[in-house]
Amino acid sequence: MIINPEEVPSEIRTNYPDEFKPMVAGRIRQRLGNFALLQNFGVNRVKLEPGSYSSLRHWHSHQDEFIYVLEGELTLVTDRGTEILTPGMAAGFAAGEANGHHLVNRSSVVAIYLEVGDRTPNDKVTYPDENLMTTPSPDGKSRKLIRNDGTPRAISF
């Protein structure tokens, strides 16, 4: 299937609790993989406005992630520190590696990148800076946000 990005809807929504929404308010995603009806992995084209984060810093228990920078400059923040990524650079994050990561646009222009992730079931996502993690629901169709010690947090998504 040929995909013209101009035909793919853009979305700015997030499932994060209200207190974290301002961090990702300038993230605009186009879900290319969903548009192509892909089942095993997702591909998103993401525009990140200056000052915005790609996500809260996180890592996945079961899912691999990969990003590829198309335009602009992004700062990759991991447990190891920060690195600048420019067009043509990429980064990968193996499932189960407890290395929290996210991208921050610290420049003055919009950056665009591709993010690719698999859709392995039963994935847990840990947000080390926020004392949060997600766990899958028994039916696998939603995720529950809890604290890292397992105590509940009043939100599911």
Q: What's the pLDDT at 146? A: 85
- Is residue 138 one of the residues assigned to a domain? no
The answer to whether position 137 is within a domain reads no
User: Does residue 157 sit within a domain?
Assistant: no
Indicate whether 129 belongs to any domain.
no
**pTM of the entire structure?**
0.90
What pLDDT is stored for residue 152 in this prediction? 76
Number of separate domains in the chain: 1
Q: What CATH number is attached to the domain comprising 54? A: 2.60.120.10
In a domain, 28, yes or no: yes
* Position 91 in a domain: yes
Query: Could you tell me the residue range of the domain that residue 79 belongs to?
Result: 5-123
Plot region of 106 (φ>0 → left; ψ -120 to 50 → alpha; else → beta)? alpha
pLDDT at 157: 45
Beta-carbon contacts of residue 24 (< 8 Å; ≥ 6 apart):
14, 16, 52, 53, 54, 55, 56
One pLDDT digit (tens) per residue for the chain, 157 residues: 899 999 999 999 998 888 999 999 999 999 999 999 999 999 999 999 999 999 999 999 999 999 999 999 999 999 999 999 999 999 999 999 999 999 999 999 999 999 999 998 889 999 999 989 988 877 766 778 888 887 877 554 4
H helices then E strands: how many in the chain? 1, 14
Is the residue at 15 inside a domain?
yes
| Residue 35 within a domain | yes
